[in-house]
Amino acid sequence: MAKPALILLVNGPNLNLLGTRKPEVYGRTTLSEIEADVAAAANAEGAAVLCFQSNHEGAIIDFLHDQRANAAGAVMNAGAYTHTSVALRDAIEAIEIPVVEVHISNTHRREEFRHRSLIAGACVGQVTGLGKHGYTVATSLLLGILRGRAEGR
Ligand code: CA2
């Protein structure tokens, strides 16, 4: 039997605090619960998930480099690095696997500095403002894109 496709779930700075602070913005669901939801959604479609969270820009970039040969794609909430990190954008371009950008809050309804994503141009798409559901939506989208590519669509 073929090995299931591996997708990466990457979360950036402060997202380890999900469910413990600022529930009015980020909800009450913890990161572990989100990771379990994504794993269940991916497993149901025959894919496996490797989860990673870091508060350090370089650690996220190293993780992407290390996993690029193993993974078919990634779902990523880069947190505040979304708005600041050219290095992360370059890493997403460099790994040449499709990455779907996710945000829990609707970044366009928030402060001006959150309206611009430096990584968006390197990602295949963006899901923003759907709360925790954005992660499973992004996972399904990514798996659909991967299936389409495998079938030459
Ligand atoms: O809405 C999102 O998912 C964000 O990526 C979250 C980032 C923010 O900088 C982006 O503009 C939008 C911040 C994550 C902070 O996470 C916390 C979780 C719990 C308590 C405090 C912060």
How many C-beta atoms lie closer than 10 Å to residue 118's C-beta?
18
Residue pLDDT, tens place only, 85-132? 999 999 999 999 999 999 999 999 999 999 999 999 999 999 999 999
Residue pLDDT, tens place only, 32-60? 999 999 999 999 999 999 999 999 999 99
Using alpha carbons only, give the angle 19, 104, 117 rounded to the nearest 5 degrees. 135
Nearest to 101 by CA among 72, 135, 147, 61: 135
- Ligand 1 atom at minimum distance from 83 CA: 11
Which residues have any ligand 1 atom within 6 Å of their CB?
Answer: 14-15, 17-18, 21-22, 26, 77, 79-80, 82, 103-105, 107, 114
- For the question of whether the overall pTM of this predicted structure is more than 0.85, the answer is yes
Burial 81-109 (b: 16+ CB within 10 A, else e): bbbebeebbebbeebebbbbbbbbbebee
Active centre residues (catalytic): 26, 103
Give the chain's domains with CATH numbers.
5-150 (3.40.50.9100)
Q: What is the mean pLDDT of residues 147-153?
A: 89
